Structure 1
Amino acid sequence: MKSTFQALWVCLLFVVGCSTSSTVSPAAKQPRLPGPAKNAYFTNPIADGADPWVIKRNGAYYFCSAGKGGIYVSRTHSLTVPGDKVLVWATPDTGWNRSNIWAPELHYFNGKWYIYYAAAKKSGSPFIHQRSGVLESVGDDPFGPYTDKGMLYTGDSIAYATSAAKWAIDLTPLQLNGQLYAVWSGWEQNAATDKTKQHLYIARMSNPWTISSNRALISSPQEPWESGGELDLNEGPQVLKHQEKVFIIYSTRESWLKEYRLGQLTLSDTLLNPMDAGSWMKTGPVFQGTDKVMGVGHCSFTTSPDGTESWILYHSKKSDVPGWDRDVRAQEFTWSADGFPVFGLPIPVGVPQPLPSGQEEE
Structure 2
Amino acid sequence: MKVIVTLLLLISAFTGGAYGSTTYFEEDIDPCLLSNPVADGQDPWITKKDGYYYYIETRNGGLYISKSENLSDIKTDEKLVWELPESGWNKSNLWAPELHFIQGKWYIYYTAGKSGPPFIHQRSGVLVSETDDPMGGYIDKGQLYTGNNIQTKENNIWSIDLTVLEHNGQLYGIWSGWEDNRQTDKTPQHLYIAKMDNPWTISSNRVKISSPVEPWETGSELAINEGAQVLKNGDNLFIIYSASESWLPAYNLGQLRLIGEDPMNPDNWEKKGPVFEGTEDVHGVGHASFTTSPDGTEHWIAYHTKISPDPGWERVIHLQPFSWSRDGSPNFGDPVSGGISIPKPSGACKE
Taking structure 2 as the reference length, the TM-score comes to 0.90
Choose from 267, 277, 283 the match for 2:258.
267
Equivalent of 2:300 in 308, 311, 332: 311
> What is the rounded CA distance, in whole Å, between the counterparts of 2:131 and 2:349 in structure 1?
30
Contact 2:219 2:245 in 1 (8 A): no
Q: Distance in 2 between matches of 1:69 and 1:337?
A: 44
In 2, Cα distance between the equivalents of 1:69 and 1:263? 30
Residue type of the alignment partner of 2:291: T
In 2, are the aligned partners of 1:78 and 1:360 still within 8 Å (CA)? no
- Deviation string 1:98-151 (CA, Å, 9 cap, x unpaired) is 1101000000112210000000011x4111110000000112110121110000
Return the alpha-carbon distance in structure 2 between the equivalents of residues 60 and 314 of structure 1.
19
* Aligned residue type for 1:47: A
- Counterpart of 1:340? 329
Work out which of the residue numbers 67, 83, 86 in structure 2 matches 1:90.
83
Aligned to 1:350: 339
Give CA-to-partner distance per residue, 1:222-261, whole Å, 9 cap, x none: 0122114100000000000002010000000000000000
Q: Which amino acid aligns with 2:123?
A: R
Q: Secondary structure at the match of 2:152?
A: helix
In structure 2, what residue type is equivalent to 1:58?
Answer: D
Give 1:240's match in structure 2, choosing from 228, 231, 234: 231
Residue deviations 1:321-348 (CA, integer Å, cap 9, x gap):
1010000110100001221100000000
1:175 aligned residue: 166
1:4 corresponds to = none
Deviation sequence 1:85-106 (CA, Å, 0-9, x none): 2110011000111110100000
Deviates more, 1:284-293 or 1:103-112: 103-112
Alignment correspondent of 2:25: none
Q: Which runs of 4+ in 1 moved over 2 A?
A: none
Aligned counterparts of 1:179 and 1:256: Cα–Cα separation in 2 = 35
Structure 1 CA distance for aligned equivalents of residues 249 and 270 of structure 2: 26
Hey, what's the Cα distance between the residues in 2 that align with 1:308 and 1:217? 35
Say if 2:128 is the partner of 1:139.
no
1:289 pairs with 2:278: yes
Q: Which runs of 5+ in 2 are unaligned?
A: 1-28
Q: Provide the aligned C-alpha RMSD in A.
A: 1.1
Counterpart of 1:60 in structure 2 is 52
Q: Is the 1:153–1:164 contact (alpha carbons within 8 Å) kept by the matching residues of 2?
A: no
The number of equivalent residue pairs is 322
CA distance, structure 2, for counterparts of residue 103 and residue 50 of structure 1: 8
Structure 1: stretches of 5+ with no match in the other structure: 1-36
TM-score computed with the length of structure 1 as normaliser:
0.87
Q: How does 1:159-238 map to 2 (within 5 A)?
A: 159-161=151-153, 163-238=154-229
Letter in 2 for 1:335: W
Q: Does 1:253 align with 2:244?
A: yes
Separation in 1 of the partners of 2:263 and 2:103?
A: 23
**Counterpart residue identity of residue 279, structure 1:** N
Q: Cα gap change, 1:68/1:228 in structure 2, threshold over 3 Å: closer, same or farther?
A: closer
| 1:361 CA drift (Å) | 3.8
1:40 pairs, out of 12, 32, 41, with: 32
> What percentage of residue pairs aligned between the two structures are identical?
58
1:72 aligns with 2:61: no
